[in-house]
Structure 1
């Protein structure tokens, strides 16, 4: 179970590192936009949308990595003071009954929109923008799948924590 969890975590680990480089790309693109607009007086909608695409990709594809490194927002007023066993039970419950169902519902309800967008190769958000809204919409199911993968790895880790805590 530990090896399987590790294999699942490597997926989000790799994507997380790519998203770190994407953040640098977004920064450089935004710098270029500011330079073009305020120094040279030029503005391009597709470049502005490029920042939006970068931001969406970083947020949506990086969520699994954020979960992996335990950097997500957590209000742990009581959780931090609990035993390892009780924390594992709470995490197990959260992954099975909160995280997974919410992501499955989002995946199911977003899928028709994404497939329709791909069927027509939906164009730009704005006139002169990036002609690939279908790629932007595809981030929603990718987000769900990556978080489900990380949730499954965390579930395996919770089960292992419970086994250790009972010994």
Structure 2
């Protein structure tokens, strides 16, 4: 691996079945915004309001966030409009990454979008290969394909060891969404 240079941007991947992938990416985004960096967060699959979106409004001068989902279809098969929204989002995210206008770009739940075949792995690899050298790229979502693990410079796997969901605790606003 090459030595770090101040303009070198790396590829992060947060994956696994445990909780905290999006939270980790947002934490990195907040840190980058605090350092004066420009951040773009694109959320695939998600189209519902989440508390973190409200919190990030206070950082709107540094963080832009857009959702490329319609609703949560995880318990059902994606519909053609779900696929269309994701493909439109990937095209927009590719243009955003290629523009070099942002220091950090988060592709939240991109692995889930790949798992549900909302777009091709080749299109995502093209986006990664198009990344300007200085752009930090953060990918999240369970079921990361081996090709993304291989391309990433940093891979963190969130492991689900114990979770109160199994005792019937529903998702709580401000904690899980």
More helix by share: 1
Per the TM superposition, whether the score is higher than 0.5 is: no
* Greater Rg over alpha carbons, structure: 1
User: When you count strand as a share of all residues, which structure comes out higher?
Assistant: 2
TM-score by length of 2: 0.29
